[in-house]
Amino acid sequence: MLHNPWQRHKDLISIHDLSPEEVEALFQLAANVKARPDRYRTSLAGKTLAMIFEKSSTRTRVSFEMGMYQLGGLATFLSSRDIQIGRGEPISDTAKVLSRYVDGIMARTFAHATVTELAKHATVPVINGLTDLLHPCQALTDYFTMREKFGHTKGLTLAFVGDGNNMCHSLMFGGPKCGVHVRVATPERYRPKPEIVELARADARALGTTIEIFSHPEEAVAGAHVVYTDVWASMGQEAEAAERLAAFAGFMVTPALMERADKDAVFMHCLPAHRGEEVAAEVADGRWSVIFDEAENRLHVQKAILLLLMNR
Ligand code: CP
Ligand code: NVA
């Protein structure tokens, strides 16, 4: 890469750290990678990625591992149950040691501080593969998928219905950067974190978009171009599952709710989905759904992220 538009970044921790131009540069590269994967077959030849997982994963693990292979590199899967982190080796030492072996680290952790600590001490790029707070790779992929479906993102409205969780936070951070208005509908007890809303709103004000919070799905969805939902109990919240099931009654994305959105609206979900809970099967598998395109695009967008951070 002659000029790397992400030169000022060592890591990808949060979309909040990226400028709209940096997000657009990522999307352009991802579109090229998707259209002509053969052109990038040796771009990361000889480079390696360590993938630390404290939580389960299908999409993130497989798309990063296949992505590295398709770029000519190698990825190694490190379950926190098997590496010394699980037995109390400091995050800082792990970051320093891995930096001597690999060219990049991707991590999925419970505490967000674990990923920021890794980034602080690693001399190689660190990519956030989901924390309790954020899921930037997924949200970037979702905005990329919207750009594909609508030809652009500027001026679109995304309605997030359900739990004010990591997915909701990253979508709120991504909206302003992509010119997308974000509406969120949650039960009052399950609002997104106020400090995240505040940061996203400051970006929205500066960039001419809006972030609105509602208590009823119908209000958020009215006329929206994208209806998005995620599980009601995220990884680590299994013990609260029954309580959450009751609290989120009325928040399922149903065909009737989709009918309130724009006539060309699409349904999005980061997956895994629980049909009959946060989304009706008729929606997840119906004419609105682009869930598998989102899943596929994780591969292309993350290959672009790997190129921007590791091809230096
Ligand atoms: N959407 C997502 O990150 O899926 P996995 O948990 O399967 O990685
Ligand atoms: N909010 C979900 C996202 C899974 C990809 C979780 O954290 O479990």
Report H helices in the chain.
20-35, 59-70, 91-101, 112-121, 136-150, 166-178, 194-207, 217-221, 241-247, 255-259, 281-284, 291-310
Per DSSP, helices labelled H in 208-312 are 217-221, 241-247, 255-259, 281-284, 291-310
Q: 3-class SS at 61?
A: helix
Residue 222: CB atoms within 10 Å = 14
Do 290 and 305 have their domain in common? no
**Which has the closest alpha carbon to 184: 149, 230, 148?**
230
For a ligand 2 pocket test, name from 115, 167, 228 the mutation site with the most ligand atoms within 8 angstroms of its C-beta: 167
Summarised one tens digit per residue, pLDDT across range 157-205 is 999 999 999 999 999 999 999 999 999 999 999 999 999 999 999 999 9
* CA of 55, closest atom in ligand 2: 8
50 in helix, strand or coil?
strand
Q: What is the DSSP letter of 53?
A: E
The CATH number of residue 290's host domain is 3.40.50.1370
* φ/ψ of residue 256, rounded to 5: -65, -40
CA separation for the pair 107, 130 (Å, rounded): 7
Residue 51 sits in the same domain as residue 39? yes
* pLDDT of the residue at 86: 87
Residue 1 falls inside a structural domain? no
If asked whether residues 98 and 181 sit together in one domain, one would say no
Same-domain pairing of 143 and 283: yes
Domain that holds residue 173: 137-294
Does residue 306 share a domain with residue 202?
A: no
Cis, peptide link before residue 272, omega less than 30° from 0 = yes
Q: How many domains does the chain have?
A: 2
Phi and psi, residue 184, nearest 5°: -125, 130
Do residues 245 and 277 lie in contact, with contact meaning Cβ atoms separated by under 8 Å?
yes
Residues 154 and 276 in one domain: yes
Minimum CA distance residue for ligand 2 atom 1: 234
Q: Does 170 sit in the ligand 2 pocket, CB within 6 Å? A: no
Does residue 261 sit within a domain? yes
Q: From residue 274, give the alpha-carbon distance in Å to each of 182, 221, 243, 251, 279.
A: 23, 20, 16, 13, 7
CA distances to 53, 84, 240, 251, 300 from 216, in Å:
35, 45, 22, 8, 35
Residues labelled catalytic: 108, 135, 138, 230, 270, 298
| β pairing state of 104-108 and 48-53 | parallel
Interatomic CA distance for residues 134 and 122, integer angstroms: 20
Per-residue pLDDT of 225-242, as tens digits, reads 999 999 999 999 999 999
List the chain residues with pLDDT less than 70. 1-2
Closest ligand 2 atom, residue 167 Cα: 1
pTM (2 d.p.)? 0.98
